A and B are shown apart, each in its own frame.
Chain A
Amino acid sequence: MATGSETGGVRGGVGGSAGVAGGRGVEALGGAGGRGVGSLELRIGGMTCASCANRIEKKLNRLEGVTASVNYATEKARVNTPAGYDPQALIAEVERTGYTAELPPPPPSRATGRGDAGAGSPEHDAGAGSEGTGTGPVRADGAADRESGWAESSDDVELRALRQRLVVSALLAVPVIAMAMIPALQFDYWGFASLVLAAPVVVWAGWPFHRAAWTNLRHGAATMDTLISVGTSAALIWSVVALFLGTAGRPGVVHPFELTVSPSDGLGHIYLEVAAGVVTFILLGRYVEKRSKRRAGAALRALLELGAKDVAVLRDGVERRVPIEELAVGDEFVVRPGEKVAADGVVVSGTSAIDASMLTGESVPVEVAEGDRVTGATVNAGGRLAVRADRVGADTQLAQMARMVEDAQSGKAAVQRLADRVSGVFVPIAIAVAVATLGAWLGAGFPVSAGFTAAVAVLIIACPCALGLATPTALLVGTGRGAQMGVLIKGPEVLESTRRVDTVVLDKTGTVTSGRMTMSGVVPADGVERAELLRLAGALESSSEHPIAAGAAAELGGLPAPESFENLAGRGVRGGVGGREVVAGRRTLIADRSMALDERLTAAMSAAEAEGRTAVAVGWDGAARGVLVVSDRIKPTSTEAVARFRELGLTPVLLTGDHRAVAEQVAAEVGIERVIAEVLPREKVDVVSGLQREGRVVAMVGDGVNDAPALAQADLGLAMGTGTDVAIEAADITLVRGDLRAAADAIRLSRRTLRTIKANLFWAFAYNAAAIPLAAFGLLNPMLAGAAMALSSVFVVSNSLRLRTFRARADDAAPERGTLERTRT
């Protein structure tokens, strides 16, 4: 793997150490590049829990030459096969297991072999090395389109189908419930009318539950779907029997409006309203859940969209604009000021400054000249550059980062719905109780019909209607409250992690600090006016957009324009201002012009540098005239935020690519003890996994594109809303206002939402579980069943609404803080 790809030429402070990043790369799922291995992705359907994914994975892995990894959360299987393997065989195997699989739709843009992570091409062996076979559709543009085509169509279709079922179900269930509850509506043969309305609800609208229950049964598992299917089917079948073979269908039979419990003639009762009501409520819950479900692939899309779409290639001295896919290794391309660099490469001619803020978060443009490396997707902020590409398509740093994000998201263990876990235990018990009931009634000598009535009643009442609402309502209210506070929670799977989190990793720049360099100190030499120093230095630096210019302009209210300007690459700038030649830059630049810094100025510079700040010496007319200090300001709320993390039981860790001195300075100021500094962007994710291997449950707060893989890898990723889109998509929670205290609030809110969900589930089951003995003793009547259903639903919704009272502590005013202008005179 080429060395120095991350560090060469990037002087802006993203780690200083040279050297290979340890080839972390992607753990290849199967063969290494160059062995004729094909790989593809399949979209898997019908999975209802993480164990389904495991099952499919095992079955696929049993096929000869095939290695597969199935992800429940993203509903995708990544499969490595021998070249020329027929994908239909894979699909058939998945279908035999009881699920569905489909190949991705072809990408709309032209797919070429250039950027393709294929096998054996020389460019790829050189670059791909430990990156593996590139087992995902990670390419410049085709991938983004393919991902969006997949994600959009499939999710939309599913959501539409769900909504259709819900609407039909609700329309039909309302009259059924009304008739059952209101005796005045119980005209002759009302039972049959109920059946006509309720049957489609239970059979058609409830079909997904029955199908899932069957699939689970084949694998010896039970989930919420099993519970619903068994309960509603029992209610429907019993009602049919009661109507046609029992007395429920006789004219004039009514459900007396009484909650009192008495031995009822089961064959005179129908339970269609319970069945229809349960199906409708559960569908409602599922619909709400699905709408808020995070779309996997969004992070990937956002990342890939950062790349350039086309490039001006220089061939035989002629410039031609071509799509990015046509760029090959070795091609020379031109980057004009303001354009994005098309691919990773080396500067062949020209000098400029590159704005890498979207990748690294470093706000100061980095100077580059002939021989320096540049990274694709960064912006050329200065002059015209000609670059020779040495990594294109799937090998660029951007593409690698996208792969890392995807890997991290795939590796995340899916949290099974709590309701499913509870159902897994509850269902076998409920069925056993029903069987015991039957046995007891028959054993005691009661008629068979009575025994069956009681047994079926147990099955019906065991199906909690509020179960389907328990999670979605709490989530809806919790996330709604969060949104008001500026905390955007992506989905329910996030909440479980917040409970166990014990470590929080904080990115420095842009998260703990503002990410913008600001002028924090002015030290004029003896006899020099502060205002004059600012005016001359500011005017000069305004041509390079240096923060000094912004700081000076802010204080003075305006700056003169320089008459001339020259960038002395790497050392500073020089130019004419108001008839004087002014120089600003490093110590060495000033010294070379025989403008020695006196003791005071030297001390000021050293002090600033020791604290990790950047000091700029300024001189004119043959003498050093002052020192200006710029630094990244710590956000006023950061210290308080760190204290709040500790209160929540989290250990904060500062993570940054910046120099150790700077990092430790910042950490000391905000109260963080553990510092991990000088980390290359691609190593951030290793830091997170390292902490996880230590047994910690890690939350990560970041904002830059280079934080994305780490955010995805962390058990809980929080992105600053003021950061990049990619970070936001990769994270689980977005903090809209960029206030670090909101992270502590986000964790508190998530924990409370999780507690609410658990309470909801408990009560949803409790009501029905209390009614099981009533059913077992033959004392259940439809009124009671309906009442239990209504009460538990009302309780669950009310309990969820309590989340609206959650108070955010981040709404408190930011603490008073002095500014960091230590060296003001």
Chain B
Amino acid sequence: MRAPARLGLYGLLLAAVFAVAFAAAGALVPEELVRDWTQQSTQTHQESHQEGAEHGHGE
């Protein structure tokens, strides 16, 4: 198979994989999980920020 055709086919495959994953995750992953994750991640972010500030000031 010639290269452009092969690459084109692979691109289509990737698009299909993306679509399937998108749909599957949307159907299977509960919304609470997403909310909790976002909260936790923001917290961690704030904590490390504080630590950094202390660290910076402490020198």
Contact = CB atoms under 8 A, between A and B. Distances in A.
Interface string A185-224: 0001000000000000000000000000000011111000
A250 B6 contact: no
A123 interface: no
Contacts of B34: 444-446
A254 B24 contact: no
B56 A188 contact: yes
A158 to B, nearest CB: 27
Interface stretch (A304-312, A433-441, A613-621, A800-808): A433-441
A411 interface: no
Measured as residues with beta carbon below 8 angstroms from the partner, the interface class of chain B is 35 or more
Contact of A263 (B7, B18, B40): B40
A435 B12 CA distance: 12
B22 to A, nearest CB: 3
Contacts of B52: 250-254
B14 A443 contact: no
A374 to B, nearest CB: 56
B21 A251 contact: no
B26 A445 contact: yes
A268 interface: yes
B18 A439 contact: yes
A268 B23 CA distance: 29
How would you classify the secondary structure of chain B's contact residues: helix, strand, loop or mixed?
helix
Interface in B1-31: 1-4, 6-7, 10, 13-14, 17-26, 29, 31
Contact of B56 (A251, A268, A431): A251
Contacts of A252: 49, 51-56
Interface string A14-36: 00000000000000000000000
Contact of B21 (A218, A262, A439): A439
A441 B24 CA distance: 10
A262 B29 contact: no
A581 interface: no
B36 to A, nearest CB: 9
Given A440-B24, A443-B22, A218 B48 contact: no
Nearest to A186: B55
B42 to A, nearest CB: 8
Contact of B25 (A220, A221, A264, A444): A444
Interface in A432-463: 432, 435-447, 450
Contact of B7 (A220, A265, A441, A443): A220
B9 to A, nearest CB: 9
B50 to A, nearest CB: 9
Contacts of A188: 56
Measured as residues with beta carbon below 8 angstroms from the partner, the interface class of chain A is 35 or more
A437 B2 CA distance: 29
A130 interface: no
B51 A254 contact: yes
A426 to B, nearest CB: 14
A256 interface: yes
Contacts of A436: 17-18, 20-21
A443 B19 CA distance: 9
A247 interface: yes
Nearest to A432: B17
A457 to B, nearest CB: 14
B4 to A, nearest CB: 7
Interface string A253-297: 110100000111100100000000000000000000000000000
A653 B4 CA distance: 49
Given A443-B26, A444-B25, A444-B26, A265 B41 contact: yes
Contacts of B10: 220, 428
Nearest to B10: A428
Contacts of B14: 431-432, 435
Given A445-B29, A446-B34, A256 B48 contact: yes
Contacts of A444: 25-26, 29, 33-34
A17 to B, nearest CB: 52
Nearest to B28: A444
Given A254-B51, A263-B44, A441 B18 contact: no
Nearest to B19: A439
Contacts of B55: 252, 254
Contacts of B18: 435-436, 438-439
A265 B44 contact: yes
A188 B59 CA distance: 11
Nearest to A217: B7
- A-B pairs with lowest CB-CB distance, top 10: A252-B52, A439-B21, A443-B22, A220-B3, A443-B25, A444-B29, A440-B25, A439-B18, A220-B6, A443-B26
26 contacts: A217-B7, A219-B3, A220-B2, A220-B10, A247-B45, A251-B52, A252-B56, A253-B48, A253-B52, A254-B51, A256-B48, A264-B41, A265-B41, A265-B48, A428-B10, A435-B18, A438-B21, A439-B20, A439-B25, A440-B21, A440-B25, A441-B25, A443-B21, A443-B22, A443-B29, A446-B34
Given A220-B10, A435-B18, A450-B41, 5 more contacts: A252-B52, A263-B40, A265-B44, A439-B17, A441-B25
